[in-house]
Amino acid sequence: MLRIITHIERLLLTHDCVILPKFGGFVLQTLPATYQEEKHLFRPMRKEVMFNVTLQHTDGLLSESYMQTYGVDYRKAQLMLEEDIEALNVSLEQDKRITLGRIGTFSIGEEGQTIFTPGDSGVFNANSYGLSSFHFPVLRSLEEEREEVALLAGKKKKDVFYIPVSRKLIRVVVASVAAVALFFVVSTPVKEVNLSAYTASFVPTEMINYRFEEPISQPEEIQISQVDEMVAEVTPKIEATKETEIAKTPSVPEVRKEVAVPAPKAELVATKKMYHIVIASFPTEEQANEYISGVDRTQCKNVSKVVRDGKYRIYADKFNNRADAESYMATLRKIEKYKDAWLFISR
């Protein structure tokens, strides 16, 4: 019987109808994609196996499949097919229920009719192979979402604080409380004790007198006359002692303060400034002397040189007054040769 099931499943992959002679035919019915609004369930397009008991003729598909698989002729394949169909009928009558793999299940009803329940028919449709049903809920409208958002925004969030507590600490605290409670429950009650019952004495208490009368001491009278005599004797001794101490005190010598006379301040002698009217400058003395020899004495009567910072400056004249020097320099600059004359101040 298992042999015929394999052939039927293989043929249903390429054919929409496979007939078992004198038994019935399996037909693949194409069902479009559906949507169940109540469950919001989408089912893809599929092919479902149907059984038609009126199809009794031989279409030759199973016989040909037997011939190709087992390498027999048509007559032998037909006999093998008839044996498998007969075994299928016998099993159905005995067990009242048989399963043909993924094709479906046959059962006998109460009235003796044959009932077919299709199995997993998704494998027989190559176009929708692997597609399964899925649930997709309806999207809410935009207004409902806005109302829900506004409602959630209006609610105040309650702050929740979590305090971590160690279980070990809780056990220790509970044990301590239990121990303290047990101590107070089990402890011996304290009562008033008669001390006289636990006191031993060799002397009767009646013989002991607890009251003692202390004699009152009277202050002694001091005669005033005796005190006066003692003061009179001590006074001259004190005065004599003071005079002796004063006589022994050494005299303190007088300390004279010497006033330091400030030293006379040194007078600063101011160096006089000299104002030179410079007409030329040279780095060497030879060049300076050569220039001086060529100067016209009628124009520069007091021509000479002065050395400063390694340079030999030739001056036409020198003055100790700035005003005179500037006046002479202005006159000298009128000469074309000495128009660049300048004032040099030295100390």
Residue 214 pLDDT > 70, yes or no?
no
- 55-71 residue pLDDT tens: 888 888 998 999 999 99
Contact of 281 with 311, CB cutoff 8 Å: yes
pLDDT for residue 33 is more than 60: yes
Burial (CB count within 10 angstroms: exposed 0-12, middle 13-18, buried 19+), residue 174 = exposed
178-212 pLDDT tens trace: 999 888 887 655 555 555 444 444 444 444 444 44
Q: CA angle, 17 as apex, 104 and 87 as ends, to 5°? A: 55
Token duo for residue 95: 């067990």
Please name the residue ranges forming H helices in the chain: 2-12, 61-70, 74-95, 142-154, 167-186, 224-248, 285-293, 322-332
| Tens digits of residue pLDDT in 75-116 | 999 999 889 889 888 888 888 888 888 888 888 888 888 888
Domains and CATH numbers, the chain: 3-135 (no CATH), 274-346 (3.30.70.1070)
CA 141 to chain centre: 41
∠ CA 224-226-229, nearest 5°, is: 110
The rounded distance, in Å, linking the Cα atoms of 322 and 84 is 150
Q: Return the structure tokens found at 321.
A: 């007054």
pLDDT in tens, 38-57: 887 877 777 888 888 888 88
Task: Categorize the per-residue pLDDT at 271 as very low, low, confident or very high, splitting at 50, 70 and 90.
Answer: low
- Residue 300 identity (one-letter amino acid): C
Q: Which pLDDT score, from 0 to 100, does residue 304 have? A: 92
Give the mean model confidence (pLDDT) for residues 122-147.
70
Digit-coded pLDDT (tens) for 247-264? 444 444 444 444 444 444
